[in-house]
Structure 1
Amino acid sequence: MTKDDTPESHGFSIALGGRRHGRPSPSLDNPVFQIADLDVWYGDHQAVRDVTLTVGSRQITSMIGPSGCGKSTVIRCLNRMNDLIPGARVTGKVAYYGESLYDAEVDPIEVRRRIGMVFQKPNPFPKSVYDNVAYGPRVNGVKGNLDDLVEEALTGAALWDEVKDKLKASALALSGGQQQRLCIARAIAVKPEVILMDEPCSALDPIATAKIEDLMAELASQFTIVIVTHNMQQAARISDYTAFFTADVDEEGVRHGRLAEYDTTVTIFENPADQRTEDYITGRFG
């Protein structure tokens, strides 16, 4: 890179690692996910090809890249959400603590309980704040004091102080940022091991986004987090590892998403090995 083309000239040096203070150094010593030669098909279209990466325990891993490069497709492979799409087919290896998520005897419902997901647009149920958080534990037959569990989840999502006096009010009356934190509380109420987030801040204003980022930094001490984001500054601020995806166009003009580079976030933003990564984070394309 020339001096003018460094990530610092695009504002990353100030933000890089801004919400990582106090957390351990990035490490893949205790892998949670091991993905190898992952291909994903929707009918006859191969949406993603040949993705290989490892996700470490209690790390925040960001997936970045231009639209249509397969980021959301890949993250949905991690809790078998693509099973719900007619015609979707996944090949290759997706191992969770060394066990294949796609073995025939694996229950996808149990997979989704252990690997929770927060979506792009807040999607609270048309129920009370309390019933939103209590829904998962009730369905799963969780024993114990439900009131304590709801309070614990809302506290963990940094929302308790804002809603403790309106637990019986409709969740739909909350602000967008509060609704997204409620969805995070709903996800952690069933005590998952991993939280997947597919562009969780794209519909939020900067203040609400900052609260979600602060929350992710806190949750990383308890959960492994994988996030898809179009916001490169967000990836730079919060994540331990960053995967940059791009799209190849074949001779018939069809796009196929693939992983271009995966490394610590510091390396991706300060010293990327792939020219395509450098071009993307310096704004030359994307």
Structure 2
Amino acid sequence: MLATDIETQAVLRTKNLHVYYGSNLAVRDVSLDIPEKQVVAFIGPSGCGKSTVLRCFNRMNDLIKSARIEGKVTYRGKDIYATGLDPVGLRSRIGMVFQKPNPFPKSIYENIAFGARLNGYKGNMDELVESSLKRAVIWDDVKDKLQQNGQALSGGQQQRLCIARAISIQPEVLLMDEPCAALDPISTLKIEELMHDLKKQYTIVIVTHNMQQASRVSDYTAFYNAEPTPKGGKVGYLVEYDRTEKIFQDPAQEATRDYVAGRFG
């Protein structure tokens, strides 16, 4: 499960992670390391726990009252579920981009500035807004309409605005939960190109149902599957985790081989 070259440079690490919703076990026994400044893709059929594990990395599951975890999740060696750890502070280091673009109902400028202000940014706000939009490759599209409502942009532009908003608070890690699911092919390509550029500065973990996208954008791929429970539900688990070319060209597990070949899922 853990490639030896990942272990010494892991930014995020899970060890024997179990996630429950109430009494129902949703994901069992996930152990993996996320390497620094690489793109890691989570793939697998619906209901196998990809997004659940992703949300554990910045404690978004805390927002679901019935959710709880067993095992350990660490960020740079520190237990992120330790008593007293501030999840808001954690999320300033580990940002998230959701499946559906969700710009604030504010101007493009304020979409970037708002979070920075909340996080106590004291620098030149104009420069921060411009640099964030440039890094998200949307500056040329919006530089003459910064006071326009961000929700008036196209879907692809809104998603790049949300990425700019996420990186404006200067995180180290970006979590992306199917960021291209609601986008057209041209917008999807722009987001993929952006991910290639962003990994020079950020560690990226992406959940995707698109096999071609996973093979194009990621350095490492984790394949999850699910099995039925006695109660009629499903529990997700990690089948295989390795370099992307290994997962797609010579996987160790037959289930992985079947999935990437399109024989199930």
For the superposition of Structure 1 and Structure 2, which TM-score range results when normalised by the shorter chain?
Answer: over 0.9
SS at match of 1:248: strand
**Corresponding residue to 1:278 among 241, 254, 257:** 257
Name the % identity.
Answer: 60
- Alpha-carbon offset, residue 27 of structure 1: 4.9
Number of the residue aligned with 2:142: 163
1:186 is the counterpart of 2:165: yes
SS at match of 1:200: coil
Residues 1:255 and 1:79: Cα distance change in structure 2 (over 3 Å)? same
- Alpha-carbon offset, residue 253 of structure 1: 2.9
1:225 is the counterpart of 2:204: yes
Number of the residue aligned with 1:257: 236
1:1-286 to 2 correspondence within 5 Å?
27-28=5-6, 29-286=8-265
SS at match of 1:90: strand
- Alpha-carbon offset, residue 33 of structure 1: 0.9
Counterpart-to-counterpart distance in 1, 2:5 and 2:210: 23
Answer with 139-148 or 247-256: which moved more. Answer: 247-256
Counterpart-to-counterpart distance in 2, 1:219 and 1:102: 27
Counterpart-to-counterpart distance in 2, 1:125 and 1:253: 39
Q: Which amino acid aligns with 1:133?
A: I
Number of the residue aligned with 1:10: none
Counterpart-to-counterpart distance in 2, 1:135 and 1:272: 45
Q: Which amino acid aligns with 2:31?
A: T
Per-residue CA distance 1:21-59 (angstroms, 9 max, x = gap):
xxxxx9524110111100000111111000010000001
Q: Which amino acid aligns with 2:24?
A: H
Counterpart-to-counterpart distance in 1, 2:135 and 2:5: 24
Counterpart-to-counterpart distance in 2, 1:215 and 1:153: 12
Per-residue CA distance 1:106-161 (angstroms, 9 max, x = gap):
10000111100000000000000000011111111210110000000000000001
Answer with 90-99 or 244-253: which moved more. Answer: 244-253
Alignment RMSD: 1.0
Counterpart-to-counterpart distance in 2, 1:45 and 1:254: 8
Aligned residues: 261
Number of the residue aligned with 1:7: none
SS at match of 1:86: coil
Residues 1:123 and 1:260: Cα distance change in structure 2 (over 3 Å)? same
SS at match of 2:131: helix
Counterpart-to-counterpart distance in 2, 1:44 and 1:112: 27
Counterpart-to-counterpart distance in 2, 1:251 and 1:45: 11
- Alpha-carbon offset, residue 86 of structure 1: 1.1
Which consecutive residues of structure 2, in runs of 5 or more, have no partner in the other structure? none
SS at match of 2:127: helix
Q: Which amino acid aligns with 2:106?
A: K
Which consecutive residues of structure 1, in runs of 5 or more, have no partner in the other structure? 1-25
Counterpart-to-counterpart distance in 2, 1:27 and 1:226: 18
Number of the residue aligned with 1:5: none
Counterpart-to-counterpart distance in 2, 1:75 and 1:34: 11
Per-residue CA distance 1:141-196 (angstroms, 9 max, x = gap):
21011000000000000000110000000111100000000000000000001000
SS at match of 1:36: strand
Counterpart-to-counterpart distance in 2, 1:192 and 1:252: 40
Per-residue CA distance 1:221-256 (angstroms, 9 max, x = gap):
000000000001000001000000000113343210
- Alpha-carbon offset, residue 97 of structure 1: 0.6
Q: Which amino acid aligns with 1:239?
A: S
Q: Which amino acid aligns with 1:155?
A: K
SS at match of 2:239: strand
